[in-house]
Amino acid sequence: MSTAYDKIQAVRADLNRVLLEREQAIDLALLALLTRQNYVQIGPPGTAKSMLVDALHLRIDGARRFKRVLNPGTTDSDILGPIDLTRLADEGRYVRRHARSIVEADIVFLDEIGRANQMVYDLLLQILGEERCVDEIGMDTPLALPVLGSFAASNSHLTGDDNLQALNDRFLLRQEIAPLADPASLIRLATDRPRLSDVRATITLDELRQAQAEAQQVTLPTSMVEAALALKEALRGEGVLVTDRMFTWSFPLLKAHAYLQGEPHVGLEDLAVLGAAWWVDPHERAVVQRAIFSVATPLQAQALAIEDNAMDLIAHLPNADAHDFLSAAESANAQLLDMVQTLMQAIRGSAARDTTRQKAVGSLKRVHAAQTKLAGQLAARMGLGGIDLSGVLATTA
């Protein structure tokens, strides 16, 4: 592998060192850079959505960043820079002062993207489009932007009206970000919080551009194109439309995913990354990921199904002060224990890539955390406990 590849992997490892339980988010952020695509994180406040982009920016030498929290009062000047009124008056030319604006940025982060207004949405449709340019009335020519990767965050999904839907469609990659689940992570956060500024690996802009080029040299077998097309048609049958734009954008993404895993060609497991690309509405997510993972990564499909079942089980428990809580909680705890055991055995017996196994371990941790919390509510009266995961976690580290 090349120096650029080694640098990407070093940055990847360094980000995982300082960002807890964010392995998938880190990989998606790197894939956004490798493909010059857009990535949006959706989740409640306080889940380190902006920290990911801050940490990534610190590890790209020489990268200029544009960061803005959007709101209903945001204007085009807040993004593109103010109009140079002196030149407009003296020369009659419509020119903006672009210093520190999005026009000069290599990395873009738009926080609270769902709170902007119609004017900003229209502008972002240009900026986040494939051509990465701005074309305003009064400009001599459209202005090309140097953006290498665009990132956004929102507390809610970009759905509900046509403006948000159009903006949502500009993001190839999206992920729901959850709070930390592993008690060990929470303890570390409270006692030995990692510092983003503790940078131990970096990559230059030139090396990043080289990595982008190398990623697209990965071989894409015809069989993988056919498999993707079959998945697209299968989802169509379930009422999920993968647009032609998303389908076309998917193949550079598949190459970049294989590259990030150190593979010379796209394989079946790489199709799993489409689970972060082919859903737009949150109601589609489970359908899309189940269909894709069942073909690409059966272990991940099993882990996701178990995790979904576990969360659904917890969600439907009666209130703790209800007369039937105790019996319902006992039954749910027993089912959660079985889920943990089943998933542990599946991980131990899997021949999947390490990255796929780690994603399954993430589901295992979340199910185990739910079981431990429920068992804690019963422990005083029933003496119930949890399962020691140290063995399986050691085998999948």
Does residue 227 surpass a pLDDT of 80? yes
Q: What is the Cα–Cα distance from 149 to 38, expressed in whole angstroms?
A: 6
What is the per-residue DSSP string for 147-182?
A: -SEEEEEESS-S-SSHHHHHHHTT-SEEEE------
Q: What is the pLDDT of residues 372-386, one digit of tens each?
A: 989 888 875 555 455
The Cα angle at residue 165 between residues 160 and 166, in degrees rounded to 5: 150
Q: Encoding tokens for residue 356? A: 């796929």
Q: Encoding tokens for residue 73? A: 């009062």
Q: What is the Cα–Cα distance from 165 to 391, expressed in whole angstroms?
A: 45
Q: Report which residue type is found at 98.
A: H
Q: What is the Cα–Cα distance from 83 to 65, expressed in whole angstroms?
A: 21
Question: Of 33, 23, 32, 27, whose CA–CA distance to 60 is shortest?
Answer: 33
Q: What is the pLDDT of residues 179-208, one digit of tens each?
A: 998 888 999 999 998 898 899 999 999 999
pTM: 0.84
Q: What is the pLDDT of residues 258-276, one digit of tens each?
A: 999 999 999 999 999 999 9
Q: What is the pLDDT of residues 285-335, one digit of tens each?
A: 999 999 999 999 999 999 989 999 999 999 999 988 888 888 999 999 999
Q: Which domains does the chain have, with CATH numbers?
A: 3-213 (3.40.50.300), 216-291 (1.10.8), 297-396 (no CATH)
Q: What is the Cα–Cα distance from 171 to 41, expressed in whole angstroms?
A: 10
Judge whether 297 and 272 are in contact, CB under 8 Å: yes
DSSP assignment letter at 316: T
143: three-class secondary structure by DSSP: strand
Over the Cα atoms of the chain, what is R_g? 23
Q: How many other CB atoms are there within 10 angstroms of residue 84's CB atom? A: 16
Judge whether 350 and 336 are in contact, CB under 8 Å: no
Q: Contacts by 379-385 with C-beta closer than 8 Å and gap 24+?
A: 381/326, 382/330, 384/333
Judge whether 287 and 234 are in contact, CB under 8 Å: no
With cut-offs at 50, 70 and 90, classify the pLDDT of residue 49: very high
